A and B are shown apart, each in its own frame.
Chain A
Amino acid sequence: MRKTVLRKPKGFNDVYKHKPGAEKDRTHYCPGCGHGILHKLIAEAMEDLDIVDKTILISPVGCSVFAYYYFDAGHFQAAHGRAPAIATATSRANPDKVVISYQGDGDLAAIGGNNIIQAANRGENIAVFFVNNAIYGMTGGQMAPTTLEGQVTTTTPYGRNVDTDGYPMKMCEVISQLTAPTYVERVSLHDAPHIRKTRNAVRKALLNAKERKGFQFVEVLSTCPSGWKMDPVKSMEWVKEKMLGMYPLGVYRDKGEEAKVITRPVPILEPGTVWEKLGISAEADVDFPRGDVPDEYRKMSIRVAGFGGQGIMVTGQALASVALEYGYNVSWLPSYGPEMRGGTANCSVNIQDGTIGAAEAVKPTMLLAMNRPSLEKFEKTIVAGGTLIYNSTLIDIEPERTDIKVFAVPITGIADELGNTRVQSLVNVGAYAAITGMFNVDHVIELLPKLFKGKSQTIIDLNAKAVKAGFDYVKENF
Chain B
Amino acid sequence: MARMLMKGNYAAVYGAAMAGCTAYYGYPITPASEVAESAAALFPKLGRTFVQAESEVAAINMVYGAAGSGQRVMTGSSGPGISLKMEGISYCAGAALPCVIIDIMRGGPGLGNIGPEQSDYNQVVKGGGHGNYRCIVLAPASCQEMCDYTMLAFELADKHRIPVFVLTDGVIGQMMESVVIPEPVKELPDKSDYAVFGTPLNKNLVNSIYIDHDELEHWNNELLKKYQNIEKKEVRCEEYRMEDAEIALIGYGSVSRVLRTVVDDAREKGHKIGLFRPITLFPFPKNEIAVLPERGIKRVLTVELSTGQLVDDVNLALAGAIKSDLYFRLGGNVPSADEITEKISELYGEVM
A residues lining the B interface (CB < 8 Å): 18, 20, 53-56, 58, 65, 68, 72-79, 82, 85-90, 92-94, 97-99, 114-115, 118, 122, 265, 267-272, 274-275, 277-278, 280-285, 317, 320-321, 324, 329-334, 336-338, 355-360, 362-363
20 contacts between A and B (CB under 8 A): A18-B205, A20-B212, A20-B215, A53-B199, A65-B209, A74-B197, A76-B196, A77-B208, A79-B61, A89-B73, A92-B66, A265-B47, A267-B48, A271-B184, A274-B46, A285-B2, A330-B5, A333-B176, A336-B170, A358-B260
Please, which residues of chain B bring their CB within 8 A of the CB of A20?
A: 211-212, 215
Contact with A along B92-135 (1 / 0, CB 8 A): 00010000000000000000011100000000000000000000
Interchain CB contact under 8 A, B65 and A269:
no
B280 within 8 A of A: no
Interchain CB contact under 8 A, A86 and B61:
yes
Interchain CB contact under 8 A, A74 and B188:
no
B92 CB to closest chain A CB (Å) equals: 10
Interchain CB contact under 8 A, A268 and B31:
no
Indicate which residue in B206, B212, B332, B337 contacts A337 across the interface (CB closer than 8 Å).
B332
Interchain CB contact under 8 A, B174 and A281:
no
**B200-235 residues at the A interface, CB under 8 angstroms:** 200, 202-209, 211-212, 215
Interchain CB contact under 8 A, B205 and A77:
yes
Interchain CB contact under 8 A, A333 and B175:
yes
Please, which residues of chain A bring their CB within 8 A of the CB of B48?
A: 267-268
Please, which residues of chain B bring their CB within 8 A of the CB of A321?
A: 5
Please, which residues of chain A bring their CB within 8 A of the CB of B334?
A: 360
Give Cα A260 to B16, complex, Å.
33
Contact with A along B28-50 (1 / 0, CB 8 A): 00110000000000100111110
Interchain CB contact under 8 A, B58 and A82:
yes
B181 within 8 A of A: yes
Quick one: given A275-B184, A281-B1, A357-B260, are A68 and B115 in contact (CB under 8 Å)? no
15 further interface pairs, Cβ-Cβ under 8 Å (given A77-B209, A89-B69, A334-B175): A56-B198, A75-B204, A75-B207, A76-B64, A77-B205, A86-B65, A94-B69, A269-B22, A274-B184, A285-B2, A330-B178, A331-B143, A337-B30, A356-B177, A360-B334
B18 within 8 A of A: yes
B142 CB to closest chain A CB (Å) equals: 8
| Secondary structure of the B contact surface, majority rule | mixed
With most chain B CB atoms within 10 A of its CB, the pick from A85, A268, A336 is A85
B171 within 8 A of A: yes
B336 closest partner in A (C-beta): A362
Interchain CB contact under 8 A, B54 and A74:
no
Quick one: given A330-B177, A332-B177, A357-B264, are A89 and B25 in contact (CB under 8 Å)? yes
Interchain CB contact under 8 A, B91 and A79:
yes
B23 within 8 A of A: yes
B152 within 8 A of A: no
Quick one: given A357-B258, A358-B258, are A331 and B175 in contact (CB under 8 Å)? yes
B71 within 8 A of A: yes
Interchain CB contact under 8 A, A324 and B3:
yes
Please, which residues of chain A bring their CB within 8 A of the CB of B62?
A: 85-86, 88-89
Indicate which residue in A53, A281, A356 contacts B200 across the interface (CB closer than 8 Å).
A53
Give Cα A270 to B187, complex, Å.
9
Quick one: given A73-B203, A74-B197, A88-B51, are A93 and B65 in contact (CB under 8 Å)? yes
Give Cα A334 to B175, complex, Å.
7
Please, which residues of chain B bring their CB within 8 A of the CB of A75?
A: 196, 203-207
Give Cα A122 to B58, complex, Å.
13
Give Cα A320 to B4, complex, Å.
11
Give Cα A176 to B57, complex, Å.
24
Quick one: given A114-B55, A280-B181, A359-B254, are A285 and B1 in contact (CB under 8 Å)? yes
B131 CB to closest chain A CB (Å) equals: 12
B20 within 8 A of A: yes
Interchain CB contact under 8 A, B196 and A278:
no
Indicate which residue in B31, B65, B177, B207 contacts A89 across the interface (CB closer than 8 Å).
B65
